[in-house]
């Protein structure tokens, strides 16, 4: 994707960089709050930076925590087995706990549990590579 950032117009470039930083901030929150997903926001930040700033994209790829996951996704559209088998139980526990302990309305509990089920199915279907 080298060179793609230089062709972006200044306004679009600025918006993409802002969206990339906002996505990275949400991802950072997701590191400590299991209900907030981390990986999709890191991947969004990587996509924004790739289109807006070669320097920021390279910085994110070089990050010791996020870089390997981004590279794996960009090259093979897969996640590590560890990420998959960590995420699925965390989704199950956090969604179930939220539905039972936080949400009182039955319809909202059902929506929350249904969303968690769909997310778990999505994770199960993702290919894995070490």
pTM above 0.95, yes or no: no
What are the extents of the domains in the chain? 1-77, 79-130
Average pLDDT of every residue of the chain: 88
Going by C-alpha positions, the residue among 28, 36, 60 that lies closest to residue 46 is: 60
Dihedral, CA atoms, 27, 125, 87, 102, nearest 10 degrees? Answer: 90
Closest CA to 28 of 16, 41, 17: 41
Residue 55: is its pLDDT beyond 70?
Answer: yes
């Amino acid at each position: 994707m080298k060179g793609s950032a230089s062709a972006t117009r200044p306004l679009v470039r600025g918006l993409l960089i802002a969206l990339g930083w906002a996505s990275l901030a949400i991802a950072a929150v997701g590191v400590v709050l299991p209900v907030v997903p981390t990986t999709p926001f890191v991947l969004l930040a990587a996509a924004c930076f790739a289109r807006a700033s070669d320097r920021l994209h390279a910085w994110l790829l070089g990050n010791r925590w996020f870089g390997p996951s981004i590279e794996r996704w960009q090259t093979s559209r897969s996640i590590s087995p560890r990420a998959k088998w960590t995420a699925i139980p965390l989704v199950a526990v956090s969604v179930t706990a939220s539905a039972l302990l936080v949400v009182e309305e039955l319809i909202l509990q059902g929506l929350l549990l249904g969303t968690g089920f769909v997310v778990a199915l999505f994770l199960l279907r993702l290919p894995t590579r070490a």
